[in-house]
Chain A
Amino acid sequence: MRTPWASVLLVPPLAMILLFFVAPVLYLFWVSLHEASSSELYGAALTVQNYVGVLGDSFYLAIIRRTLGVAAVILGLCVLIGYPVAYFVALQPPRRRMLVLLLLLFPLMVSNVVRAYGWVAILGRRGVLNTSLGSLGLIDGPLDLLYTIPAVVVGLMTILLPYMVISIANTLATLDRSYEEAAQALGASPFRTFLHVTLPLSTPGVASGTLLVLLLTLSAYVTITLLGGPRSKLLVSMIYDGVTAFQWPHAAALAFILLALALALTALILSVLRPGRVQGTGR
């Protein structure tokens, strides 16, 4: 709409996003720069101690390392499993491809708490896996599968995998096949064609899938809590614990450390995959 009064259209959505998204996040940052207070939400004096304290504490550093490790394994598994699946999906005829993509999309619509509960039902002491292994006589007593880091990895990986598959499949499906045909006509083996033509051309899909999975992994508090229990906490659990203990400036600082981590990893992933070069921006 190009009429003079068109700006009126922009006012409500812009006001909402500024008031209830931008403003609270800025306010949280402001609070993270203040002392703790026992009577107020935060103290009066400005300080960077909330950040220095966390980054100088070996306990929190270990949690951050664990968070990075879990995220790296989940991303690696998602790419390794997701890429061939996406390739399979992209090779289907259009109508069937839609159907398969819908099958992948549906689980994403189910609340993560329900999907995590499914894994609790599988991995629990009286869960599906332990009872079936037990009745086959393969184990003597139930294995402690739940409340471990591998449980968090397997649960989150399968919950987020459809994002990776859909992102890569969308790129592969729109890929111009004549590049691959040209490579093969020039004598490249199918494997070389894949490695030097298809794979580089699909990096935008890999990049967007990786970023989605990464960001959702970092803030998946409920899944991490249900599958990891009290002993496999990640950075996001520390934020929640800080809030429930009313340590507002501390929790706020942890939130921005998580955000900084997300931004740094995003930059790292983009600089490794360089999806921009495919879209012709020549980087």
Chain B
Amino acid sequence: MRESQVAARTLRGSATAIAFFLIVVPILIVVVVAFSPNEYFEFPPAGFSWRWFVEFFRLANMRGAFALSVELALLAATLATVFGTLGALYLARRRGTVAALLQSLFLAPLVFPTIILGVALLLMYKTIGMPVFPGLLLAHCIVGLPYAFRTALASAQTLDPALEEAGQSLGAGPLRTLFLLTLPLIWQGVLSGWLFAFIVSFGELNTALFLTGPGLTTLPIEIFSYLQFQGSQLVIAAASTLQIALIVILVATIERVVGLGRIIRAR
């Protein structure tokens, strides 16, 4: 092997090692410290204990934030999946300018700076007098929509149109065709879209920052305000670890149900 090739390989290998170190270590430290028995931050911790998780569930605001985040993510992911799948079914076989425009519109929240969406929604909600919970839910739904739409679209585009035609020529109405034929064929894409929308909603910051209200705070925002106003307490590490744990469970579910490949392509 020539010298330049060895150099190139060393460069790739060391860049990868550095990148993974920088990406993984901050997350790892948070998880390790969450099991600390100490009163204050110390790394490595002096032992092992569940005390900060107990403390987390003892604090009413933390418990409430966790419950609200799960509830919001469940509802927002479901709404986004229903809406995204409808849009995907409509657009799956359409070409042309209008179809392309609609597709970019459904994907737009993915690249639009969400902080601006947050400000815009808060202003509109203030003007029309929208209550906190439905306002927050709709925002999370908009943020999750592109993920649900894109995975459903990818699945719907692989469908053979002859199947639907066969269903209809055999006398099935449009609704029967949808529920007995189309949805059973694309459910994997729809489900992975739902899981993605759930994950995005569960970690959402930029719109929730503006739209959460007194007594109605999501877990990421609760963690943020704790860090900002009460300093780095270890209960935050426990809260963060619970956030991570839920994501791990979801990713494992996706891998079990639809396989790894689909997750990568869903991005």
Contacts and interface: CB of A to CB of B under 8 A. Distances in A.
A219 B113 contact: yes
A117 B203 contact: no
B25 interface: yes
Interface string B1-39: 010110010011101101110111111111001000000
Interface string A202-221: 00000000011001001101
A262 B43 contact: no
B235 to A, nearest CB: 12
Given A113-B227, A255-B116, A1 B203 contact: no
A282 interface: no
Contacts of A212: 111
A21 B117 contact: yes
A18 B109 CA distance: 12
Interface stretch (A43-51, A137-145, A236-244): A236-244
Interface residues of A, number: 90
B264 A20 contact: no
Contacts of A191: 4, 8
B236 to A, nearest CB: 6
B100 interface: no
B111 to A, nearest CB: 6
Contacts of A88: 12-13, 15-16
A102 B112 CA distance: 25
A251 B23 CA distance: 33
The A interface is mostly helix, strand or loop, or mixed, namely helix
A166 B267 contact: yes
The B interface is mostly helix, strand or loop, or mixed, namely helix
A110 B261 contact: no
B187 interface: no
Contacts of B203: 109-114
Interface string B142-167: 10010001000000000001001000
Contact of B15 (A9, A24, A84, A166): A84
Contacts of B220: 111-114, 222
A226 B87 contact: no
A85 B90 contact: no
Interface string A1-16: 1110111011011101
B133 interface: no
B41 interface: yes
A189 interface: yes
Contacts of B178: 1
A7 B122 CA distance: 31
Given A16-B83, A17-B142, A114 B240 contact: yes
A97 B59 CA distance: 42
A4 to B, nearest CB: 9
A99 interface: yes
A106 B106 CA distance: 24
22 contacts: A2-B93, A9-B87, A14-B87, A16-B83, A16-B141, A24-B117, A24-B120, A27-B123, A27-B124, A28-B116, A31-B123, A84-B16, A109-B250, A114-B223, A127-B41, A158-B23, A215-B111, A219-B114, A222-B209, A222-B224, A225-B228, A255-B120
Closest 9 interchain pairs by CB? A118-B26, A111-B203, A24-B120, A84-B15, A219-B115, A13-B87, A219-B113, A28-B120, A114-B240
Interface of B: 2, 4-5, 8, 11-13, 15-16, 18-20, 22-30, 33, 40-43, 82-84, 86-87, 89-90, 92-93, 102, 105-106, 108-109, 111-117, 119-124, 126-127, 138-139, 141-142, 145, 149, 161, 164, 168, 174, 178, 182, 199, 202-206, 209-210, 219-221, 223-224, 227-228, 232, 236-237, 240, 243-244, 247, 250-251, 255, 260-261, 263-264, 267
